[in-house]
Each structure stands twice: as structure tokens, then as C-alpha cells.
Amino acid sequence: MEYFLHLTILIGIYIPLALSLNLVVGYTGLLSITHAAFYGIGAYAVAILMTVYGWSFFLAILMGIILASVVGGLLGLVLSHFKDDYYALVSFGFNIIIYSIFLNWESLTRGSLGIPGIDRPSFFGLELSDNWSFLILTIVGASLIYLISLSITKSSFGRVLKGIREDERALSIFGYNTKLFKLTIFIITAGMAGLAGGLFATYITFIDPSTFGLNESIFILAIIILGGMASLKGSVVGAIFLILLPEILRFVGFPTEIAAQMRQVVYGLLLVLLMLYRPQGLVGEYKI
């Protein structure tokens, strides 16, 4: 039961990450490969503020969200000068820069040693030390991000984002400041990723740079491509599928000496087949 509970909490953490990235990639059409950087900024902000400065969880996670949003805004200003492949490459490079900062700024982040001893959240003196109570917190966080994402996609703001995806130049002709819209959604989604990072740090109670590298950004991107581009439900489905699939493959019964390699082969094959025959994802509307 504890194992299932652990997986459910991880799904609850990855759902906000997938939802936020889908708003950028699926709804706005901006191929960003840097979401793990904002995830890491939120996690490190919470870890440092709680372990070094003794901040409470809720103040620390609020600061993590703000810091991730500010950095997202600065990066968004830079990315506004690029399009298409160059946009993806610059975001790719930013993820590497942030990972390098986590790894090499040892006086602040402890480098490869990571930050241990992060306390679980407490609410009016009630510490959420067991996984059941933390699951409730995770569900609240994921539900909040889902509702915010839903309100964005159903609003006129969301319709402009879709317009940018379909034909940014035509939208500009009608007087829309498309750069401002792209910057705004980037700031909002960076903060969402920061929230997920804060939850992750206090759940695992230990973080190190390896969690927030380029592979993690690609994994989050794979979630939304698999689940469905421009679909909030697809983000949820993709997170559930990709978190559970490697665990399900553990019980297939491969010989011990090749089990790990075969799980990766099956995992990759399923993804390739899905992309060949269902490129918009399981419940998506848009092909990247």
C-alpha cells in the first residue's frame, strides 16, 4: 500500500509540471525544453529557505514560486527574440546553465552532495509527516494548478494563445502584442513548475542536481506528447501512464540479468509505436 501511495504522490507532483508545460508547448506552440530548470529552482528555494533559514513550508514555497516566475520572466524576455528551432535550442541551453549552477555553486546548493534533512510541511502545528496527509496536500496542489490551467484555456487569454500557435503573424496584424502574451504564459507556468518543485523537495526530503537535468525536461515533454498536446486531460493521462509504466514493466518477468535493459526496450517501443500511429497523443488535439 505504501508503494502505491508513493506512486500516487509522484503522479500528483508531475501533473502540475505536465499541465504547465502543456500551456506553453501545446496551447501556445512554443517548444520549450527547460521546464526542469523551474522545477529545480522551486525545489532548491524551498530546501535552502527551510534548512538554512528556518522558514515555514508555505512561506518557502511561495518564495519558490515567485523566484521561478521571475527567472521565467527573464528567460522569456530572451526567448522572445527567437522562434522555432532556435527557441528550443536556447531553452535547452538554459536548462544546462541552471543545472550547472545547482552543481557548482557549492556554498549555496552543496553541489553534488545535495541538500538533506528537508522537513515535511506543517499546517498550524500539524506536521504532514505521513504519506497519506502529504497525498492530500499534493492533490490540493495539483487540483489548484488544474483549475488555473482550465480557467486560462477557457478564457480570451487562452484563445489568444491558441491563435499564436496557429498563426502568430496574423494575430499581430490584428493588433495583439504576441510577445507580451508569450511572456505572460511563460511566467505563469514557471511558477507552477516551482510549486511542483517545492512539493517534491519536501516529499523526498532530499534533493540534488541530478533530478533537474536535461533528461527531466525531456521526460516532462514526453508526458505531454504522449498524453496529448493542447489537452489538460492529456497531461493528467500522460503523467499517470509514464509514472506507472516503468513500474508495471517490473512485473513482466524478464530474466534478472536483462530485466532492466528489456524494460527500457519495451518502454521505448511503446512510445515509438504511439508516436507513429497516434502522433497527437492519447487524447490530444494538436500535433507538435
Q: What would the pLDDT profile of 242-264 be if each residue is shown by its tens digit? A: 899 877 877 777 777 776 677 67
What is the distance between the alpha carbons of residues 91 and 181, in angstroms, rounded to a whole number?
18
Buried b (16+ CB within 10 A) or exposed e, 155-179: eeebebbbbbbeebeebeeeeeebb
Whole-angstrom CA distances from 101 to 41, 44, 212, 253 are 10, 11, 11, 41
Give the residue-averaged pLDDT of 156-165.
Answer: 95
pLDDT at 259: 66
| 173, pLDDT greater than 80 | yes
Domains recognised in the chain with CATH numbers: 2-277 (1.10.3470)
What is the distance between the alpha carbons of residues 92 and 96, in angstroms, rounded to a whole number?
7
Give the residue-averaged pLDDT of 38-54.
Answer: 97
Q: Which residues contact 277 (CB under 8 A, 6 or more apart)?
A: none
User: What is the average pLDDT score of the chain?
Assistant: 91
Give residue-wise pLDDT tens across range 132-149: 999 999 999 999 999 999
Give residue-wise pLDDT tens across range 179-231: 999 999 999 999 999 999 999 999 999 999 999 999 899 999 989 988 999 99
Nearest to 210 by CA among 62, 111, 79: 111
pLDDT at 288: 61
pLDDT at 236: 96
pLDDT at 67: 98
| 45, pLDDT greater than 70 | yes
- Rounded to 5°, angle at Cα 180 from 176 and 186: 130
pLDDT at 282: 84
Q: Which residue has the higher pLDDT, 249 or 156?
A: 156
